[in-house]
Amino acid sequence: MNLQADPFRSICEALAPALQAKIPALIIAQIGWPDSKFLETEGNLPSVFFWEVSDVARNVVSRIKPHKSTTNPDGSGYVFTEQSRVFYLMQISLFTSTPEERSTHGWTIMQHLITNYRLTLADGETATFKYKGKHDDEGETNYYQRDLTFEVWTRVLDAKPAQKVSTLDPETAID
């Protein structure tokens, strides 16, 4: 059974509150691209949008090895194995009202993801960020845009039910 939903969505759902905690002025932090009317409406800025530029999955040769396990009080549990790793080229687009906000908030996002490059996701897994570059766009007359690009990767796990072994029988042990 595959435990993860869309890994990109999981990354964005964990990243949004982390950025809003670093930049309390952020109005919106979400997946997608803003409608032009959104940017024209006063009071919607500053906002951040997450965009998946591309992705690639790589199968993991050592997926037979357990990645982690959980145990319930009754001794049952799950063994999690890594099936593949998904790599994304992710664009974080920041829209602000002034060039000063763009510079300040853009630097805050970049610095946060460079120094805290591992983000814990809701399922306990992690996403790893690697900075790739930035681009400033003057946009229209009513907003300023900065695009930050990161390579992000995470694991795709599979879980199988398992029973905890608490004692070994010497007669059935394999030497």
Phi-psi region of 133 (alpha: psi -120 to 50; beta: other; left: phi over 0): left
- Residue 1 confidence (pLDDT) above 50: no
> If you average pLDDT over every residue of the chain, what do you get?
86
34-88 pLDDT, tens digit each: 988 888 888 999 999 999 999 988 776 555 667 778 888 887 888 888 878 899 9
Residues above pLDDT 70, as percent of the chain:
86
Q: Which residue type is seen at 131?
A: Y
Backbone phi, psi, residue 32, to 5° = 115, -170
Provide the pLDDT for residue 140.
67
pLDDT of residue 35: 87
pLDDT at position 4 is 56
Number of H helices and number of E strands within the chain? 3, 7
Reported as a single tens digit per residue, the pLDDT across 109-131 is 999 999 999 999 987 789 999 99
Superfamily (CATH) of domain 7-163: Phage tail protein-like (3.30.2000.10)
Q: Cβ-count burial of 133 within 10 angstroms (0-12 exposed, 13-18 middle, 19+ buried)?
A: exposed
- Output phi, psi for 62, to 5 deg: -90, 30
Domain residues of the chain, as ranges? Answer: 7-163
Mean pLDDT on 157-165? 76
